[in-house]
Amino acid sequence: MYGRPNLYTSYKQESQILPTWSQKIVLGIFLLILLAMPLDLWLTEQIPFVRFLGDNEWLPLINKVLVFAIATLGLNLLAGVAGQVSLGHAFFMGVGAVTAVFLGGQSSDNLHGLGLPIWIWLPGAGVAAALAGVIVSPVAVRLRGLYLAIVTLGLVFLGIHFGNTTWGAKFAGAPGLGRKAPKLDIRLWKEETPLINLDDDGRWLGFDVSDKAKTYFLLLGLTVIFAVMAKNIIRTRTGRALQAIRDRDIAAEVMGIPEFRYKVIAFGISSFYAGVAGALFSAALSGQVLAADFGLFFSVEFIAVLLIGGAGTTAGPLVGAFFVVMIPKFVETFTKWLDKTEGGITGKFADVALTGPEGDFGVIYTGVQTPGWQLNVFDWNIVLFGFLIIVFLIFEPLGLYGVWIRVRNYWKRWPFSY
């Protein structure tokens, strides 16, 4: 109602994705900015930060953010909504990547491949990963907590071992070398000239668009689709059942919710997201399928994205993916800028914080190899990464989404303290 934005007269009105017009307008403007980010437009020129991220140097990182967002949205449905701790997300991503390279790659004497177009191998990667999740789920859903995490962790090592076997090398390529990932070009079937070529620079709608920008638009569209799907799943009966199981599984089963069936559904949906993300990771980012890429650290990284962004929410994985992927690059860029600063407060801070090959007493070493107890930029990013996980777990379990909720509530009740 006009003037009473928090007064809902029906459940349908309250359960809308964007219940207020202000949220709809803000989201629309944000999507327009994302679409215009890699283009040379007046809008992007007026917003320096947006144009900065739209450069070819930063677009690969933005593409990585989008792929991580899709993967974490699936993990959120399993861990954040259903409450099932999983450390095997990288395994299902590996299944999706291998399926994609089998369906979309070319065959040879040592490799299997069908050479199918993207509209077949991309959803096929998700379906294969979902089937793997459904096959594993009858064993996994009978476990809880630490035991479930250990079982899913074992899947990661099984996947790496499979990729290094002789039979697995027929699909994933030779151990340590991998296999070239299928291209993202859009074809009707197996014709040589694609309908849309994403590998070369070109002109779209009168704008000069690089190959990285074309990949960005494809990943952005897929991220929006999967985010809307995840939000709608949470709003459905299935989503409410998964939340009930997460909050109190015994009470949910007493109320008539079939716990086993809904946990299997959660594993299947989460694995589908992981399979699609794994295929996109190989095709859009690394350019090849390598079993070693889908290891333990990969799974831990997605757990960190979920915890930092905010588990159980749809916006949390999106914000967390941007934060986790971009922060190391921001720290590296800031360190390089600080290393060149002389004089003033920033120069004195650089003398204290940084140390180069000449010596000094800084904690962060700007050279290639650290001579002793100092940390280089890469090590400093890992330390910062772990520190942020600890801080969010202790002080803000809802992550960055929880910080936003605190700021929003404070703004709504200001100047009152209650």
CA angle 196–270–244, rounded 5-degree value: 140
pLDDT tens for 356-381 read: 554 455 666 666 555 555 666 667 77
Please list, in sequence order, all residues whose beta carbon lies within 8 angstroms of the beta carbon of residue 152, skipping any fewer than 6 positions away. Answer: 85, 86, 87, 88, 89, 91, 140
Identify whether 415 is preceded by a cis peptide bond (ω within 30 of 0): yes
- Residue 1's pLDDT is 41
Task: List the one residue out of 84, 155, 94, 85 whose CA is nearest residue 125.
Answer: 94
Q: Which residues partner with 99 through β-bridges?
A: none
pLDDT tens for 24-56 read: 898 998 898 888 888 877 666 667 667 677 677
- Residue 2's pLDDT is 46
Measure the CA–CA gap between 120 and 123, rounded to whole angstroms.
6
- Residue 205's pLDDT is 63
Measure the CA–CA gap between 412 and 61, rounded to whole angstroms.
35
Query: Regarding predicted confidence, which is higher, 16 or 222?
Result: 222
- Residue 134's pLDDT is 93
Measure the CA–CA gap between 266 and 270, rounded to whole angstroms.
6
Please list, in sequence order, all residues whose beta carbon lies within 8 angstroms of the beta carbon of residue 232, skipping any fewer than 6 positions away. Answer: 17
**CA distances (Å), origin 236, targets 71, 232, 247, 257, 360:** 21, 6, 17, 14, 59
Share of the chain above pLDDT 90, in %: 36
Instruction: Look up residue 346 and give its DSSP letter.
Output: H
- Residue 341's pLDDT is 73
- Residue 104's pLDDT is 93
Alpha helices in 195-282 (DSSP H): 211-235, 237-247, 249-254, 259-280
pLDDT tens for 95-132 read: 999 999 999 988 888 888 899 999 999 999 999 999 99
Indicate left, alpha or beta for 175 from its phi (over 0: left) and psi (-120 to 50: alpha): beta
End-to-end CA distance of the chain: 25
Does this model's pTM top 0.75? My answer is yes
Say if CB 44 and CB 54 are below 8 A apart.
yes
pLDDT tens for 269-304 read: 999 999 999 999 999 998 888 888 898 888 888 998
pLDDT tens for 140-163 read: 778 877 888 888 889 999 988 888
The half-sphere exposure of 48 on its side-chain side, counting CA atoms within 13 A, is 0
Please list, in sequence order, all residues whose beta carbon lies within 8 angstroms of the beta carbon of residue 72, skipping any fewer than 6 positions away. Answer: 302, 305, 306, 309, 317, 320, 321
- Residue 103's pLDDT is 94
Measure the CA–CA gap between 201 and 199, rounded to whole angstroms.
7
Count other Cβ atoms within 10 Å, centred on residue 83: 21
Task: List the one residue out of 292, 77, 257 whose CA is nearest residue 164.
Answer: 292
Answer whether residue 12 shows pLDDT above 60: yes
Count other Cβ atoms within 10 Å, centred on residue 214: 21
Share of the chain above pLDDT 70, in %: 86
DSSP 174-205: BTTTBEEPPP--B-SSS-SS-SB--SS-EEET
Mean pLDDT along residues 202-212: 77
Q: Helices (H), strands (E): how many in the chain? A: 18, 7
Please list, in sequence order, all residues whose beta carbon lies within 8 angstroms of the beta carbon of residue 399, skipping any fewer than 6 positions away. Answer: 306, 307, 308, 309, 310, 311, 316, 319, 320, 392
Measure the CA–CA gap between 161 and 159, rounded to whole angstroms.
5
Average pLDDT over all residues of the chain: 84
**CA distances (Å), origin 395, targets 187, 313, 382, 389, 398:** 49, 18, 20, 10, 9
Measure the CA–CA gap between 63 and 215, rounded to whole angstroms.
7
Say if CB 92 and CB 132 are below 8 A apart.
yes
Helix (H) or strand (E) holding 289: strand 288-289
